[in-house]
Amino acid sequence: MNKNWRWLPAGIVPVVIVTAAVSGSAVAEAQPQLPARTAQELLEFVATSTDDAYSGTVEQSSNLGLPDLSLASPPGRTPSSDPTSMVLELLTGEHSAQVYVDGPDKAKVQVLDQLAQRSVVINETDAWYYDSSANEAAHAVLPDKDAAKAALEAKLQEKVAEHPELQNIPRTPAELAQAFLATIDPSTEVTVDGTSRVAGRSAYELLLTPEDATTLIGSIAVSIDSETGVPLSVSVQARGQDEAAFEAGFSAVDFSTPDADIFEFTPPEGATVTEAPTADEAKAHIDEAKARVDGKDQPAPAEEPVVIGEGWSTIVELPAGTAAQLGLNLGTGEAAGMGDIMEVKPGMDPEEVAGAQAMLEQALTEVDGGHALQTSLVSVLITDDGRILAGAVSADQLVAASRR
């Protein structure tokens, strides 16, 4: 008897799995049929969107052309709490986050790391940040919303009284959309680029394309939910790169109001809680510092940052000395090679500094007159005299700008 048919299931199962996987992604990519809308209509739709309670999973990935910095940090360590490396870590690689939003006042974002979590919880009165791997929390008391709003309104009225032409500032969503398009028009083309399917929902694709040829940004696409007007995903395309340089969007979204207790947070016992100064305290602190500087009759405070160019290829130049303030130490020391980029300052964990140093050494390249960090979207130049230039242009253009 021929028993070979008994191998049949083993042949069929993989075929079924592959078919299911392929057809699943084909359904996900099918373009839904939606009534056509112009860019103006779409922007109005977003501005009038009232459905602002939802929850979902956000996937973020970036492809900035940087070396994979997660390999530079010692294995087995969750992302460091040091802000620089945390930002770098969030900018490279992939992340998944759980997002809950209920109105403009309540939000919760949970960055889901493996066996760790970083959470941000905002409700009407407080803002919390909690990092589970370090068991550290930061807390800020939010200023009274109504009072702040009233103060803002009063200030606005004052300004309008001074400058009557401000009376014409856009108020309605339609006016806002028009104003936005008018402002952005000379430098950017705004179009509706068909439809797409995001997190199982039909969406309009709003496409912003810079007219400026010198910027690294190729285009920015925003998917807008066709029913609620909530933006579902953003992707930034870099010039000369097929894959999106930055992508963030919902992989699942639910437009029902999240439970109220999700937005409550009490720091766990044993956690280190840092209290952020309130707005008044911060202001007092700044005033005090100012008074001290004025009193000592010091040389003029550091120069203001300089803005070079306009539109998409704007370059920001931070004055000399900024690099040193940030603890970056380039160009001094060994003339050609890279010395210790990071200075170990008191209160810093030497090991963390060494880690950051290794990261920077990987990421920075030497250019004429300084060191540059070139990503597919943004470049940063640290000149040998300690200035920092940054912009969405190539490093060569930064070098040229630094010579002016």
Partner 1 sequence: MPAESTEIRIRAGGLGLTLVLSEISVLFRRLRTWAMIGALALIPILIAVVVRVSSDESASGRGPAFLNSITQNGLFVSLTALTVAIPLFLPLTIGVVAGDTIAGEANLGTLRYLLVAPAGRIRLLLVKYAGAALFCFVATLTVVVTGAIIGALLFPIGPVTLLSGDTVGIPGYFVRLLLLALYVTVSLMGLSAIGLFISTLTTIPVGAMAATAALAAVSQILGALPQLEWLHPWLFTNYWLGFGDLLRQPIVWNSFADNALLQFGYIAVFGTLAYGRFSTKDILS
Helix and strand numbers, DSSP H then E, in the chain: 9, 18
**Cα separation, 96 vs 102, whole angstroms:** 20
Contact at 8 Å (CB) between 351 and 344? no
Structural element, H or E, at residue 84: helix 83-91
Bridge-based pairing state of the strands 217-225 and 53-62: unpaired
**Which tokens belong to 50?**
């009232």
Under the criterion CB under 8 A, does residue 301 sit at the interface with partner 1? Answer: no
Judged by CB under 8 A, which of 45, 130, 204, 250 binds partner 1?
Answer: 130
**Min. distance of Cβ 3 from partner 1 in angstroms?**
4
Binding mask 103-122 for partner 1 (x = CB under 8 A): -------x-x-xxxx-x---
Assigned token pair, 244: 């999106």
In terms of CB distance, is 39 or 111 closer to partner 1?
111
Minimum separation from the CB atom of position 254 to partner 1 (A): 12
- Of the pair 251, 394, the CB lying nearest partner 1 is at 251
- Torsion angle in degrees (nearest 10) through CA of 282, 287, 293, 294: 170
Number of residues located near partner 1, criterion CB under 8 A: 42
Would strands 315-318 and 136-141 be described as parallel, antiparallel, or unpaired? unpaired
- Please, what is the minimum distance in Å from the beta carbon of residue 262 to partner 1? 7
Q: For partner 1, which stretch binds (CB under 8 A), given 23-31, 133-141, 148-156, 161-169? A: 133-141
Query: Of 150, 252, 282, 289, which lies in the binding site for partner 1, with binding defined by CB under 8 A?
Result: 252
CB 83 within 8 A of CB 261: no
Minimum distance between the CB of residue 90 and partner 1, rounded to whole angstroms?
A: 17
Identify the residue among 12, 152, 169, 324 touching partner 1 (CB under 8 A). Answer: 12
CB 270 → partner 1: shortest distance, Å? 5
Least gap, CB of 10 to partner 1 (angstroms): 4
Which residue, 93 or 311, has its beta carbon nearer to partner 1? 93
Sheet with 231-238, side-by-side order of all strands: 188-198, 201-210, 217-225, 231-238, 246-254, 53-62, 93-102, 106-113, 116-122, 126-131, 136-141, 272-275
**Are residues 59 and 248 in contact, defined by beta-carbon separation less than 8 angstroms?**
yes
Selected range binding partner 1 among 13-21, 194-202, 220-228, 275-283, rule: CB under 8 A: 13-21
Can you tell me the distance from the alpha carbon of 346 to that of 349, in angstroms, rounded to the nearest whole number? 8
* Residue closer to partner 1 (CB basis): 248 or 316: 248
Q: Between the CA atoms of 51, 56, 62 and 68, what dihedral angle is there, to the nearest 10 degrees?
A: 160
Residue 196: strand, helix, or coil = strand
Q: Indicate the angle between helix axes 39-48 and 173-184, nearest 10 degrees.
A: 130
The one-letter code for the residue type at 74 is P
Binding of partner 1 by 240 (CB under 8 A): no
282 near partner 1 (CB under 8 A): no
7 contributes a contact to partner 1 by CB under 8 A: yes
Regarding 362 and contact with partner 1 (CB under 8 A), the answer is no
- Enumerate residues 17-76 that contact partner 1 by CB under 8 A: 17, 57, 68, 71, 76
Beta strands in 167-300 (DSSP E): 188-198, 201-210, 217-225, 231-238, 246-254, 272-275
98/257 with CB nearer partner 1: 98
Residue 284: other Cβ atoms inside 10 A: 12
Pick the stretch among 132-140, 169-177, 231-239, 374-382 that binds partner 1 (CB under 8 A). Answer: 132-140
What mask of x and - would describe binding to partner 1 in positions 65 to 104, judged by CB under 8 A?
---x--x----xxx-------------------x------
Query: Exactly one of 134, 142, 248, 306 binds partner 1 (CB under 8 A); which one?
Result: 134
Which contiguous run of DSSP H or E holds residue 118? strand 116-122
Among 64, 101, 107, 137, the residue binding partner 1 under the rule CB under 8 A is 137
Instruction: For partner 1, give the closer residue by CB, 35 or 270.
Output: 270
Contact residues for partner 1 (CB under 8 A)?
Answer: 3-4, 6-10, 12-14, 17, 57, 68, 71, 76-78, 98, 110, 112, 114-117, 119, 128, 130, 132-135, 137, 252, 259, 262, 265-271
